[in-house]
Amino acid sequence: MQLQYNTQQSLPNTRSWKVWWELIRPHTLTAAFVPVLLGTILALLEGKSNGLLFAAMMLASILIQAATNLFNEYYDFKRGLDTEESIGIGGGIVRHGMTPQLIMNLALSMYGISLLLGIYICAASSWWLAAVGLVCMLVGYLYTGGPLPISRTPFGELLSGLFMGFLIILIAFFIQTGYVSNIAVLVAVPSGILVGLINLSNNLRDHDGDKANGRKTLPIVLGPKKATYFMGIMFSVSYLWVVGLIVTKTATPWILLVFLSLPKAVAATKGFVGKTEPITMMPAMKATAQTNTFFGFFMALGLFISYLM
């Protein structure tokens, strides 16, 4: 049965900035700005940086992530997945009376601005990036849109990590240097993993509802217990990868600063153990996003320190 929403107003109680802030799911935006920051610091190590391109790339990435969240809000409502009691959603439609069309228009507007920023980035670097950027935007839409949304499959974590973690670092690096270095590729790997784990944490929380609606997300395929083990393993791979970069003298020992984020990774993994109610998993989801933020920040800080030395 299609859920009902208030058709009498499309902009209810918008006096509160919190309504709009929650709508874009701010805890997911770390998946957008951390990779851009890392790519820019890596470019700086090569003696090349461009403040305007950095700002354009940062804004475009955040807008694409926010738009993806809005597409998710729109299509989950249309498919009857979101209710007023749903945990972790923006709630613009089911809680604040916004029309689905408003949500879609906001998402498309963000994509439109991102497209303009992309044109500027391509004009200042390479038009080959146009194809890459369009693919990224298409994947963002197809995550919840289209006949077979990626969010219904076990590949959500892989594709979100690839496009919103790994690839963004390389794009941010490329637009400022004109090439892609080996170190940029290697540093991008743990970022891709951690962005994918943000997606995994969301799917762990939504396991029961997704299963009831016929989805085949990774936690449904593996089961919540094995999916939580998998999360712990992938966190471990991310930190061990950093150790490997240092042992092979690929990167500076200063990037060991990332281990300051380890308590958040531990809290994220433990926070899902034995939990079945979505509301009880919210602290673990927050810790997962914070791990990505702190890991990326300390990685960037360590690289920047090495640049100064």
pLDDT tens for the chain, 309 residues long, are 334 444 344 444 545 667 777 777 776 777 788 899 999 999 999 999 899 999 999 999 899 888 888 888 888 777 776 666 666 556 667 766 678 888 889 889 998 999 999 999 999 999 988 888 888 878 878 877 777 888 889 999 999 899 888 999 999 999 999 999 999 999 999 999 999 999 999 899 889 888 888 889 999 999 999 999 999 999 999 999 999 999 999 999 999 999 999 999 999 999 999 888 888 998 999 899 899 999 999 999 999 999 998
C-beta separation of 301 from 42 below 8 A: no
Closest CA to 68 of 35, 6, 114, 7: 114
Task: Tell me how far apart the alpha carbons of residues 135 and 77 are, in angstroms, rounded to a whole number.
Answer: 25
Rounded to 5°, angle at Cα 246 from 243 and 249: 150
Question: What distance, in Å, lies between the first and last C-alpha atoms of the chain?
Answer: 63
pLDDT given at position 5: 40
pLDDT over 90, % of the chain: 53
Domains and CATH numbers, the chain: 17-308 (1.10.600)
Rounded to two decimals, what is the model's pTM? 0.83
Q: Which residues contact 174 (CB under 8 A, 6 or more apart)?
A: 125, 126, 129, 180
Q: Which two tokens stand for residue 278?
A: 């979505």
